[in-house]
Structure 1
């Protein structure tokens, strides 16, 4: 009798635990005072910033101090490979701007009209912003490394904000 009760209790616990198991989110989002979850864009990121995008002006490949970069010459660029869907990569961001400390990247998907965070912190959580831009490198005034990833193939506009002001837009293609 006691064995049967223990078996029923154990089975009940297993069934209950299975019903309430958390769903795994492949793109967890970290929240803090400077990081916002999708759907909660930083307040300075505006949909109107996407209205004037000329989607034909893709990023260029160019050399700065003999280093191949991708971006908009003398404005902003990155050093890193082309993105593939859900494949994390390491990029070095470079900015031709005299000063700044907070970088925010809001990735806007052309076909779906949605924003996604592209940056990842050391725990693989998606974030909107990264504080602490470094000094001059490869001809640019500011730089910072980051992990990046996007969830969908297609055309993306990377809206680059420095200290909460729109600084540049990088148009990239993510391959599937």
Structure 2
């Protein structure tokens, strides 16, 4: 096109003489531009699809990791519940032995002796302590599950955005 412009400026050719060349160059330019556009659109679609695949795979990977965390944590919380059950059982056994052997309380102050002689109250206290521990364990497990799932959802959503 620059050569055509130079010919026209140098008065070597008229616009009418250069018109077929200009039309050919315009068509060639449009063809090249269209091919470039097609190539860019193709590249954009590939990039979009790969990004989409990556986001989906990221979501799947994060879900698998959180699932693994939940599995491990459920085992840990189960062990914690089991240990709490053993602890409560030992408290019941020890309290039963202590209440059954009043001689062991001989040195205790009268107020403590009076409280310790109310077997039902003491057993209820141990049972209540066990219930409180179990609720605490359940609450911590729920908190972990909720926070982990919320974190994953926020992370995946942020990545998608």
Question: Structure 2 length normalisation: TM-score?
Answer: 0.25
Larger radius of gyration: 2
Q: Greater helix share, 1 or 2?
A: 2
